[in-house]
Structure 1
Amino acid sequence: MRPHHAFWPNRLPHSITVPATSVWDNLAVSARRYPDKTALVFFGRRQSYGELAAAVERMAAYLHGLGVRAGDRVIVLMQNSPQLALAHYAIMRANAVVVPVNPMNRAEELQHYITDPDAKVALTTGDLAAELAKASNALPPGSGLQHMLVTQFSDAFDTDVQGPDAPPEQWRDWLCTRHPLPELAQGQVHAWGEALACTDTPPAHTVGSNDLCVLPYTSGTTGLPKGCMHNHRSVMHNAVASAMWSNGNCEQVTLAVVPMFHITGLVSMLHACVYLGATLVIMPRWDRELAGRLISRYQVTTWTNIPTMVIDLMGSPNFDSYDLTSLRYIGGGGAAMPQAVAQRLLEQFGLRYVEGYGLTETAAPSHNNPPDRPKQQCLGIPFMSTDARVIDPETLLEVPQGEQGEIVIHGPEVFAGYWKCPEATAAAFIEIEGKRFFRSGDLGRVDEEGYFFITDRLKRMINASGFKVWPAEVEALMFKHPAVQEACIISARDSYRGETVKAVVVVRASHKGQVSAQDILDWCREHMASYKAPRQLVFVDALPKSGSGKVMWRLLQESEAAA
């Protein structure tokens, strides 16, 4: 027996039987059970489970009419919205595979998400459609999108909404503008309403637990982002287990503000709630005053977040006017929760902040703290049905308790492998005692009670407010700037984001004295997702290099830490 079993929540089994059905089937079941119950709330407009399921059937039929077939990859490029939930379930209902894409990506980044999964169809919102069309239109004939379905935010709410449900004033242009549909050079653009008016019969639902369900992309130490192949089984395991872990039930009300293009928001929030028949109160992005009002108005019981959101809400001058007494479960990950804030939550609201840990490759949690006995700034214990160990990255042998090593994970939530990358897949797994373990690339230790703690990273990565930034990807984009001869990306401390992105740049001789640090920072913001774009930049005459000519990034990182 592993030591953490002594602290296992009494009400829960150590492992679960994963349903043999597809993730879409959870919506079908909840719609039959609770047809009139509110599934989604968006700026005051409610959508019932019955209405959501009916819309999914119509959208699936429309996608089938566009040529979407079993196993086809379909892009969803959206912020949190009812349309995102509808898009995911419609694609699954049509037996196809969801490719969730971060809406902060720019055209140059978006091209990879079209060509790598061979996507021919995309669903997006009006504010992002032009950028996605720009990406597709720049691709060679035959490799671009054939169909793009475009919704406007105002398809899902009443723009004259007032009171606690009203969007922040600074969001009104963004949310209420009805953008013109862009031109798609290699295909057609369709309005959302047209798809929802479809009266055709959707295809028979034929996919099951072993079929591909979702293909989220993760970056790494080298090259372009790689698709993580998750079958319905791996997603279903973590949706069901997350629902059970947080003591979920059909009366649960969840504040959906962590992004659902990301694996945590998608699996532990959207899919877990639909499985339960619970209610999702959706925020398209973070705003502390709106969050405070929505928690109070809808008596939110469950809030998955990143710690910076809690810190921000508690810093609001209106904090004392918000009613947070309905909250029963609050937790998250992506960054450590400061001890003082966790203590205040406990003293003021009796809430223990439950931190968890997982990766895109593990469909969100591979570890979680027991809700009734969490430890602060701790990954928690191996999740339901999961075996996790700490090994020596060189010898691949398990290290003694308390010693640092690489965290490796075995369980039904672990992905099948990287899309079209057999070598990377082979390198990501090792066998221990006949079981296939995924190598996380994170260094950690286990305490005497079996709780895991992260100590360092084997992989070179920056964690900015929970968003993972891979330096190699940012450097590759920066090399496209005409003034940049060389660039090395390192992390710098940031009081709010935890870490932020810093660029150390060598300028081409032809551009010396003609370009400022701010010029390059502005260019970066224009050409890459805002969370990846460097916030700080310094010019140097040369980057430190090893005998073989490799940039010694660790040396720059260490001098930044010392400074």
Structure 2
Amino acid sequence: MPRLTRHFAHWPPGAPRTLDVADCNLFSHLEDSAARLPDKPAAIFYGKPTTFREMQAAAVALAGYLQQRLGVRRGDRVLLLMQTCPQFYASFYAVMRCDAVVVALNPMSTPDEIAYFAADSGARVLVATQDVAGRAVTLMDDGTLDACVVGALSDFAAPPEASPWLELPAIVREPRRAMPHPRCHDMAAALAAGAQPAPAQAKGEDLAVIGYTSGTTGKPKGAMLSHRNFCYTLAHRAHWQDDREDEDELLALPASHLAGMRVMLQAGRIGRTLVMLARWDAKAAVELIHRLRIRSWPTVPTMLSEVLGAADDAAHALSSLMRLYGGAAAMPDALAREIQERLGLVFLESYGMTEFCGLALSNPPQAARRQCAGVPVINCDVRIIDPVTLEELGPDQPGEIVMHGPTLFAGYLNKPEATAETHIEIDGKRFLRSGDLGYQDDDGYFYVTDRLKRMINSSGLKVWPAEIELALYGHPAVQEACVISARDPHRGETPKALIVLRPAARGTVKADDLIAWAREQIAAYKVPRIVEIVEALPKTATGKILWRVLQEEQDREERKALSTS
């Protein structure tokens, strides 16, 4: 069988071998669903449904306000800073309706990080919820941002007494507060203003999202993704998983992360109801799945493990689930077996990158394999190369994973050199270099085995050591810093920092002091949970810190500890 098509023997029944998509604006997906299913809930948020008609109306009203009151024009970048909630849903589509570009930020982002994203993307307007909007106050004072639209999560949630079995987080219960700054605009007032947007013009090749992803240089890079990129990845999933509108889905992943964003956009496209959680809560997830008879759940291993522990009788409480899938973090074999034994379900693993609009490999639902990234999805060409010679390798030969397809990003915003470094040409086609090591077997299934780059995967969130090191070097007591990955029983991996202090700080600055300081500088998931103060770090003759030596030493110690436990 030809080497590039051998995986066709395991192709999902009924899925096409190739496909094309309409040249459209992503907003048209929500528009179509609202026309077909106006009274069906698009989202259910802590007991309160928002119908597709209401979601579309909110998106259109916000788009009109952004255009008429805040001057958002075609191609402008708009920052979104909020938890997973109906406001994010409506705001995303509002930006699409403006022909503008979404820059979705992790809700844990600090003021300095928001300032960087605004400056790098050129965004002047932020849409946020009040639990995080205060971080933008200084950015409006110094002129980084012109305006911020602020919403209250409680506006889209039912009162606590409506769902006594569901504990509402404090940020969801909190009533609408006064605006934190004169340049802030109340979202409820904006939706009620009735401003109408101009006709939409953006289509397939136009920029839709700038997805920020960190790298070995330490500073996040903005991957430019088009409407067409998303249309392809959504169309693929609809065929691959036989997506149906009657499969209500739990979204507990961050909507700001590409994985959660794709889930939200697929629901908007096919008319599926999303049950949204602003904050992860295993007990709430169990109650929602059980009471609302949720059938599909995109998730990560840590969430699944917690849910299985929180459900007294998982087989009964989670009996409505028909599909579990994910790809942000590797699924441990023991947990995959437990899911199959207790729930009778196979967890569908996949693999992708922000630069590839989130998906390049996926397990066929009818022929899934454990601890496997899957096979190339529709219209995608995935190969293994030698990372040094760039020679293409055959089955069972480990190397770097590279990928080509219609979801390949246009490049990094303002960084042509970084864009060039991530690409390679094979057979006249442009491939993305993933930086991940793996191999493919004789059947065309791919397995990810290691990292070529220094990425830490903490509960599915990608953390880059160089970015943390840059922050730590800002502390006046830090002379040298090296961040590596340490095993974490809950998160899988967690950052560990090895620090050499300046002479004047030795004996006075403690590890806890550095951890506390880091919490003020970077998002919580990036903060090193382990800090070890050392006398010196190993270096090359040119003074470069040998992080691989430190990582290998850490790995050896962890293997030793596991073997003696």
Matches within 5 A, 1:252-263: 252-263=247-258
TM-score normalized by the length of structure 2? 0.95
* Structure 2 match to 1:438: 432
Matches within 5 A, 1:123-522: 123-137=127-141, 139=142, 141=143, 144-163=144-163, 166-168=166-168, 171-172=169-170, 175-183=173-181, 188-267=183-262, 269-316=263-310, 318-320=312-314, 323-522=317-516
Amino acid in structure 2 at the alignment position of 1:182:
P
Aligned-residue CA RMSD (Å): 1.5
1:68 deviates by: 0.3
- Cα distance in 1, alignment partners of residues 332 and 418 from structure 2: 35
Amino acid in structure 2 at the alignment position of 1:82:
P
Change (3 A) 1:329 1:8: same
* Structure 2 match to 1:18: 21
Report if aligned partners of 1:109, 1:528 keep a CA contact under 8 Å in 2: yes
Amino acid in structure 1 at the alignment position of 2:455:
M
- Cα distance in 2, alignment partners of residues 61 and 80 from structure 1: 23
1:135 deviates by: 4.2
Q: Output one character per residue of 1:383-417: Cα deviation in whole Å (capped at 9) or x when no partner.
A: 11100000111221211210111100101111110
* Structure 2 match to 1:37: 40
- For the residue of structure 2 that corresponds to 1:364, the secondary structure is coil
Whether 2:101 is the aligned partner of 1:97: answer: yes
- Cα distance in 1, alignment partners of residues 214 and 276 from structure 2: 27
* Structure 2 match to 1:61: 64
Change (3 A) 1:51 1:317: closer
- For the residue of structure 2 that corresponds to 1:222, the secondary structure is coil
* Structure 2 match to 1:83: 87
Report if aligned partners of 1:71, 1:212 keep a CA contact under 8 Å in 2: yes
- For the residue of structure 2 that corresponds to 1:285, the secondary structure is coil
Report if aligned partners of 1:405, 1:444 keep a CA contact under 8 Å in 2: yes
- For the residue of structure 2 that corresponds to 1:502, the secondary structure is strand
- For the residue of structure 2 that corresponds to 1:250, the secondary structure is coil
Report if aligned partners of 1:7, 1:373 keep a CA contact under 8 Å in 2: yes
- For the residue of structure 1 that corresponds to 2:454, the secondary structure is coil
TM-score normalized by the length of structure 1? 0.96
Report if aligned partners of 2:218, 2:468 keep a CA contact under 8 Å in 1: no
Match of 2:11 among 8, 12, 15: 8
- Cα distance in 2, alignment partners of residues 476 and 251 from structure 1: 47
The answer to which of 94-103 and 174-183 deviates more is 174-183
1:183 deviates by: 2.3
* Structure 2 match to 1:70: 74
Amino acid in structure 2 at the alignment position of 1:183:
H
* Aligned positions, number: 553
- For the residue of structure 2 that corresponds to 1:53, the secondary structure is helix
The answer to which of 534-543 and 310-319 deviates more is 310-319
Change (3 A) 1:178 1:210: same
- For the residue of structure 2 that corresponds to 1:215, the secondary structure is strand
- Cα distance in 2, alignment partners of residues 389 and 350 from structure 1: 33
- For the residue of structure 2 that corresponds to 1:431, the secondary structure is strand
- Cα distance in 2, alignment partners of residues 319 and 125 from structure 1: 36
1:165 deviates by: 6.0
- For the residue of structure 2 that corresponds to 1:424, the secondary structure is helix
For structure 2, list consecutive stretches of 5 or more residues without a partner in the other structure. Answer: 558-565
- Cα distance in 2, alignment partners of residues 44 and 132 from structure 1: 30
Q: Output one character per residue of 1:179-226: Cα deviation in whole Å (capped at 9) or x when no partner.
A: 442226xxx110011110122221110000010000010000004101
- Cα distance in 2, alignment partners of residues 179 and 312 from structure 1: 33
- For the residue of structure 2 that corresponds to 1:393, the secondary structure is coil
- Cα distance in 2, alignment partners of residues 27 and 164 from structure 1: 32
- Cα distance in 1, alignment partners of residues 160 and 553 from structure 2: 53
1:159 deviates by: 2.9
1:175 deviates by: 4.0
Change (3 A) 1:175 1:413: farther
- For the residue of structure 2 that corresponds to 1:201, the secondary structure is coil
- Cα distance in 1, alignment partners of residues 486 and 402 from structure 2: 28
- Cα distance in 2, alignment partners of residues 92 and 3 from structure 1: 39
